[in-house]
Amino acid sequence: MSKRINQKPRILGLTGGIASGKTTVLNQFKKLGIKTISCDEIARKVYTRANVRKKIKKYFGTLNRKKIAKIIFSDFTKRKQLEKILHPAIIKNLKKQLNLLPSTFYLLPVIVDVPLLFETHLEKMFDKIIVVYCKKNQQISRLMKRDKLTKTEAIRRISAQLPLSKKLKLADIIIDNTKNLLDKII
């Protein structure tokens, strides 16, 4: 009689700097058929909850995400306040999703995109930690282009996080995202 192996999958945390390419890399894993979870997506859902919106509106006077981003990246206390409103609900939802993973034999790990993994000290939740890396000038230009920011604004947002160079030292696995996506296709 064959033995059934019951085992939870290994959970890999995927992180990096702002605009270093976490979502881009996560989507590549997804295309390969790997189960992925995005904390950005969880955050977007949490943001729509009535109780969360009420707290945000009360504290920031607006629900506009772009306006709030501008505020929090120039005011540390306000950034911490937003994190206090959002993070507990995001972590709770993530833990729930991980607990719901079926206990069957998994060949492949589950990959979770956690932008502030080190900053929020979530290391223990993961079997291994992947850091997505690109050069600082690429991070700046990709961020400027994607979010239509000036160079000063992009640098300010990058500086609000633990430096990517420090995250690299804490990584189990590093994914090099310095090559241009278009170059890869050609």
Give the shortest CB-41-to-ligand ATP separation in angstroms: 11
Contact at 8 Å (CB) between 112 and 39?
Answer: yes
Query: What letters, b where the CB count within 10 A reaches 16 and e where it falls short, cover 65-87?
Result: eeebbebbbeeeeebebbeebbb
Work out whether strand 128-133 and strand 11-16 pair parallel, antiparallel, or are unpaired.
parallel
Cβ-based nearer residue to ligand ATP, 85 or 154:
154
Minimum CB–partner distance for residue 105 and ligand ATP (Å)? 31
Toward ligand ATP, which CB reaches closer, 40 or 127?
40
Cβ of residue 81: shortest distance to ligand ATP, in angstroms? Answer: 20
Q: Which residues of the shown chain bind ligand ATP in the complex (CB under 6 A)?
A: 16, 18-24, 40, 115, 142, 146, 177, 179-181
To ligand ATP, the closest distance from the beta carbon of 20 in angstroms equals 5
Nearer to ligand ATP, 22 or 167 (CB): 22
C-beta of residue 108 within 8 angstroms of C-beta of residue 127: no
Half-sphere exposure in the Cβ direction for 79 (13 Å, CA)? 13
The CB density around residue 156, as the number of other CB atoms within 10 Å, is: 13
Cβ-based nearer residue to ligand ATP, 107 or 182: 182
